[in-house]
Amino acid sequence: MSNINFLILLKTSLLMNDINNFNNLLLLNKELTHKNYMLINSMINSDPNVLSSNSKQCYVPILTKYLAVPTDMYIIHNEKLIIYNLNYFQVTKIFDNFINVETQIMFFIDYRQTFIDLINLDNFFNLSFFKNNKFIQFLNHHNLILNENNFFKNSKFVLFFGNCINKKNKIIKYFSNNYKDYNIRENKSIKDALIISVRD
């Protein structure tokens, strides 16, 4: 199925309030679902039928499993700043002659445009990207020693929640429920985000 036909069918399903067909389209076209996650999320946010409680019970389990949120890595390493997109597993930009410091890795996870019920931090913190060949090749190419064993030691996380206190609370609750030793702080220059480090 072409990308445009997929999106038209999704939108038509919503207009006809056919949530079952909407769900089936997502399940049968997982690659297109992942590719168009921002558009699909926008459809959900703007459609009153989908936001009804009965409909949410149908689509939320599907979307939290197959949709991603914008996630970028900012890596300072060997006097370079490397920006790497984890949604498409590709380098976005490399800045040479950056600062000479110990390797730093920061993940920017953007939930600002994501409907609150679709926030699923398990999708990220199951570390499935370590099973992606393109990601492993990227690490090897830049001589970056990052794996599941040292991941938390070497990484910080910036999670954007926008102006939604409920999203902020959901993020905080996730870390309090899943990790014993973590730190959450806010930054005056990034007012709609939490900066988190985990020492588990």
In tens digits, the chain (200 residues) has pLDDT values of 898 999 888 888 878 878 778 878 877 887 787 677 667 766 765 665 555 545 555 555 656 565 567 889 999 999 899 999 998 899 988 888 888 888 999 999 988 877 676 677 888 898 989 999 999 999 999 999 999 999 999 899 999 998 889 999 999 999 999 999 999 998 877 788 999 999 86
Contact 161/119 with Cβ under 8 angstroms?
no
b or e along 154-188 (b: 16 or more beta carbons within 10 Å of the residue's beta carbon)? ebbbbbbbeebeebbebbbebbeeeeeebebeeee
3-state secondary structure of 174: helix
How many CB atoms lie under 10 A from the CB of residue 108? 18
pLDDT of residue 53: 46
Q: Could you tell me the residue ranges of all domains in the chain?
A: 3-66, 71-198
pLDDT of residue 65: 60
Bridge partner list, 184 = 196
How many CB atoms lie under 10 A from the CB of residue 198? 19
Contact 20/46 with Cβ under 8 angstroms?
no
pLDDT of residue 140: 96
Residue with tokens 């090897």: 140
How far is Cα 18 from Cα 52, in angstroms, rounded to an integer? 13
Residue with tokens 């110990």: 102
Comparing CA positions, the residue from 26, 38, 49 lying closest to residue 71 is 38
pLDDT of residue 36: 77
